[in-house]
Amino acid sequence: MTSYTAHFTPGTRIRVKADYPETRGPCHIRTPHYLRGREGVVERPLGAFRNPEDLAFARPAATIPLYHVRFDQKGIWNEGEAGDTVLVELYEHWLEPAA
Amino acid sequence: MAHAPHPENVALLARFTAALAAAGLVTEDQIAEQIARTDRASPRIGAAMVARAWTDAGYHALMLKDGSAAAEAMGISMVGAPPLGVLADAPGLHHLVVCTLCSCYPRAVLGYPPHWYKSAAYRARAVRDPRGVLAEWGTTLPEATQIRVVDSTADYRWMVLPTRPEGTAGWDEARLAALVTRDVLVGTRLPTA
Amino acid sequence: MPEDAPNPATHDIGGAARFRCTPVEPDDEAPPDAFGKRVDALRQLLAQRGLMTVDELRRGVEAIPEAEYHALGYYERWLRSISGLMLEKGVVKAEDLRP
């Protein structure tokens, strides 16, 4: 099991990994498809929880920091009203610092 | 629309329950008791929390810091329930809660989710066309209000703390709570006095 | 999400174009019927006994083939998931569930 330390502070610009585990076989992931590869801003840390990707298969699960991350809706869909946002809980292993 | 379960699944449920009972894992009494306990949760709990937050600054702060503790403070047991998060609307900002991946819902303080919350249309559209979805409730937001859609993807369950409506000065908690419906707590409607 | 992103999984429908013109029906309350309440109670009781997690429930629901996923009611999906999980764990046997 890997252990994780919370790396991101509020205001940090992050990118959601453009990873598609669903193409590699049975899996359970809580990172919505529409956010993969998108950039957002860490709103606040939400504590740490056991990794659902392992819990779903009753495997030993590491405890991973969880964050509320904010994304601009227009940046995702290229439509909608400027200023509208979506706020999503994401686990740290899905996030990387935005370039 | 919701539809009645297929007879095949009604039969499966009967066989499954019988197998669990035979394995000594559940009894009819335990099932009945669990249903009764679940039935006790309703949006009246969330509404009472909001009304208290509108009249008590200390409780308002607790609710935003730790929604589960705020529910416990109203006598609601949160043992075994996912942590509750509360997001406050403000002038210029409105929250709308959805779960695009399944139908996560703050059941401890709102009860069973309504059918529309679980529908593919709501789950698909709320994150992409929130204003179009609100229009189906006849809800229009005050000018220059941004929408923050909360996609409930993981361990928390989210509830909206709306802004206290104009014209409610001096109202007591019971009267205020009556303005706060289930839809208001999800964010598809705004409370009005 | 990059242009060449693989298709999302069946349940991962945030923003899905095929539902864009499907109305949401605010009056469609449909509180759970006796079937739904019973399935829900079993889920909670099995979780309390340490026999399943919400993550496993979700994984089981997500494994339902797409045509059935949308044809089944909400608590029918749950029943499918929960009974499948208990089968997988050897809590119940296949012959217990067969008509």
HEC profile of chain B? CCCCCCHHHHHHHHHHHHHHHHCCCCCHHHHHHHHHHHHHCCHHHHHHHHHHHHHCHHHHHHHHHCHHHHHHCCCCCCCCCCCEEEEECECCEEEEEECCCCCCCCHHHHCCCCHHHHCHHHHHHCCCCHHHHHHCCCCCCCCCCEEEEEECCCCCEEEEECCCCCCCCCCCHHHHHCCCCHHHHHCCCCCCC
Residues of chain B neighbouring C38 (CB-CB closer than 8 A): 13, 17, 31, 35
Candidates B34, B119, B151; nearest CB to C24: B119
Determine the residue type at B53: A
Checking if the pLDDT of C3 tops 70, the result is no
Enter the DSSP assignment of A26: S
pLDDT for the residue numbered C28: 85
| A68 located within any domain | yes
User: Could you tell me the CA-to-CA distances from B186 to B46, B95, B99, B150 in Å, in that order?
Assistant: 10, 8, 11, 10
**ipTM (interface predicted TM):** 0.94
Q: Interface partners of B (3+ CB pairs, < 8 Å)? A: A, C
Q: Which domain holds residue B109?
A: 41-186
The torsion region of residue C22 among left (phi > 0), alpha (psi -120 to 50) and beta comes to beta
The answer to whether residue B26 is domain-embedded is yes
**Are B155 and B129 part of one and the same domain?**
yes
Distance CA B104, CA B154 (A): 8
Is B42 one of the annotated active-site residues of the chain?
no
Residue C54 contacts by C-beta under 8 Å, 6 or more apart in sequence? B82, C47
- Residue-wise pLDDT for B93-116, tens only, equals 999 999 999 999 999 999 999 999
Subunit contact C62:A28, Cβ cutoff 8 A: yes
Average model confidence (pLDDT) across chain B: 96
Q: What pLDDT sits at residue A14?
A: 98
Together in a domain, B23 and B60: no
> Which of B130, B124, B82 lies closest to B100 in space, CA to CA?
B124
pLDDT tens by residue, B161-192: 999 999 999 999 999 999 999 999 999 999 99
Residue of B nearest to A80 (CA): B129
Give B88's strand partners: B161
User: Tokens 């409780």 appear where?
Assistant: B59
pLDDT in tens, C12-60: 999 999 999 999 999 888 889 999 999 999 999 999 999 999 999 999 9
Give the CATH number of the domain where residue B158 resides: 3.90.330.10
Which of B4-8, B25-29, B123-127 bottoms out in mean pLDDT, i.e. has the lowest?
B4-8
| pLDDT at residue number A3 | 53
How long a stretch of residues is chain A? Answer: 99
| CATH number of this structure's domain C17-97, picked from the four choices 1.10.150.120, 3.40.50.150, 1.10.472.20, 1.10.490.10 | 1.10.472.20
Mean of the per-residue pLDDT values of chain A: 94
Nearest-Å Rg of the Cα atoms of chain B is 19
